[in-house]
A and B are shown apart, each in its own frame.
Chain A
Amino acid sequence: MEIVVCVKPVPDAETRLRATSDGTRLDPEGVKFVLAGYDESAVEQALLLKESIAGSRVHVVAFGPAPRTEEVLRATIALGADQATWVDSGADAGAEPVRAARAIAGAIASAPHDLVLCGKQANDDESGLVPAALGELLRVPEFSCVVDLRWDSATSRFRFQRPIETGVESWSAPAPLVVGLQQAWNDPRTAKLPAILKSRKAAIGKVAAASASSESRVVAERFELPPPRTGAKLIEYKTPEDAAQQLVRILREEAKVFP
């Protein structure tokens, strides 16, 4: 089985966010970029499927600027991916999700893909648009919020579940398929040191992003951080009952969140 995993470099969750001096977007200066959280699960799920289906390959594809995109691709090689392709966004790092989907689709449309795995959303823009846009571009069905993704070799179909707002759906579907993954079977593995060292010399395929043909545009205008939270106002109390009465009074009269 040919498994394509689409990943995105995003700022580490511990990173302090800051806007550029013109205030339009996140300032990438000094930011540590890592594999997006759901993408880590997608890579893990791809490797688990590869290990359970003989003759499978994992091809990881990412759209973005240097050097961060190449770095996260190298990290997936260290985890066990067979091939990595960097779709260069150029210096304009605007990773507008639909533009990313178009670039990735251009890079993988002619490559074999029985399963295209994405994280269900990236933890920077949280758009959740890439899996569906990829499905439309590749003309295959797409499923978001997928958990418990398995391959049933007896029927040659994937089986999976989707915990959505109204309940949990169970599905079966043949390849090819695009999946926005919510959770892998396991917590994502960590790379071993020899594999990390070896991945530094691994070849990363590089392709240029196709130029956009759409007349629609998405333009970043402002990136704002809320005023820092100053820390909790701690309630001084004598008894638990006293604490409870004070808190309920505050929530009703001061915060007005309680009828």
Chain B
Amino acid sequence: MTPNALVVGELHDGHLAASTLEVIGVARALAGGAVAGLVLGAGAKAAASEFGRFGVPEAYALDDPHLDAAPAGARAAPVAATAREVGASLLLTASTTAGRDLLGRLAVAWDAAVATGVTEATAFEGGVRVRRPVFGGRATETIRLEGSRVAIATRPHAFAAVAESPVPCVVHEVPAPVLSEAYTAPQRTGVAVTARGAGPSLTDASIVVSGGRGVRAPENFRLVEELAASLGAAVGASRAVTDAGWRPTSFQVGQTGRAVSPQLYIAVGISGAIQHIVGMVSSRVIVAINSDASAPIFRVADYGIVGDLFQIVPALTAEVRRVRGA
């Protein structure tokens, strides 16, 4: 395949997002030729030059605040046009909501072989071979993306961020797309930024502590939250908890909630319905704390404590604080 690659970056607080730095690393490993960067939306021009810090000598910016409040499809045409301009045969982005929306569009608009949720990627003559978890992490598939245009979205945290290696970076401006009425008619009427508290978001966190029915009452959920806070972890919940209204549905881990794959997942008072398991089984290490030794959660956990969570969890929080010196 022709060797050039285009990285479509995402912005976070006006800078290249952490997930984009991972994508740059993958692009530099896969591309035989030049790697170029592209960012879109408000502040794109200022952020585009940051590509140079990570060894990317050429960047494209579509600095148009309207794109931030337009449907995802509005980005497809300018991204495909930039890919053609740089002679890219490979396009890479992060497998976020926006990244998956973009790839579905580019499969058609750029006529590419595409894959999302990629955790390993290697180039071969004629395409890219990728591995990706499927069935909620219960299996892994290896697929070959063949053709002269391939686009992949890499799962956040699956690859290391690229190290800094500054080079001068030329920034080109990409003209704003002329949108048809279908794409200007939808209106974004509001954005409520998630109240993050002190902790990381559920899908970004490297440690997740989730509570289930075993915590018995909404006020007891603070035990789960205190353990999470001591670990710098995100808080999750089983469906029993969100259905009961103890926590909003945005906390739900499982088939109908969010799928997470942190380094460490601690399930507190969760029995382990299959619905929940498929959302967390691809975590690297799983710890279960439950009073019922026969609970199915112990079959997927690596380590278990059979006992009363109302005694175990506060002791664990205290121990974590002690070893962390806090």
Contacts and interface: CB of A to CB of B under 8 A. Distances in A.
**A pairs with B:** yes
Interface of A: 11, 13-14, 17, 25-26, 37-38, 41, 98, 101-102, 123-137, 139-145, 159, 162-174, 177, 183, 214-226, 229, 231-235, 237, 239-241, 243-245, 247-248, 250-252, 255, 257-259
Interface string B109-120: 101111111000
Interface of B: 71-73, 76, 96-98, 100-105, 107-109, 111-117, 129, 133-136, 138-150, 182-183, 185-194, 201, 203-204, 207, 231, 249-250, 255-256, 259, 263-264, 274-275, 278, 284-288, 293, 298-308, 311-312, 314-316, 318-320, 323-324
A126 B136 contact: yes
B124 to A, nearest CB: 11
Contact of A235 (B145, B231, B300, B305): B305
Contacts of A229: 299-302
Contacts of B97: 144-145, 162, 164-165
B301 A232 contact: yes
* 4 A-B pairs closest in CB distance: A132-B104, A232-B304, A173-B186, A216-B147
A57 B278 CA distance: 34
Contacts of A25: 141
Contacts of A231: 298-299, 301
A235 B136 CA distance: 28
Given A133-B108, A216-B145, A247 B287 contact: yes
B299 A232 contact: yes
Contacts of B113: 216-218
Nearest to B317: A244
Nearest to B273: A13
Contacts of B301: 229, 231-232
Contact of A169 (B114, B185, B188, B305): B188
A17 B135 contact: yes
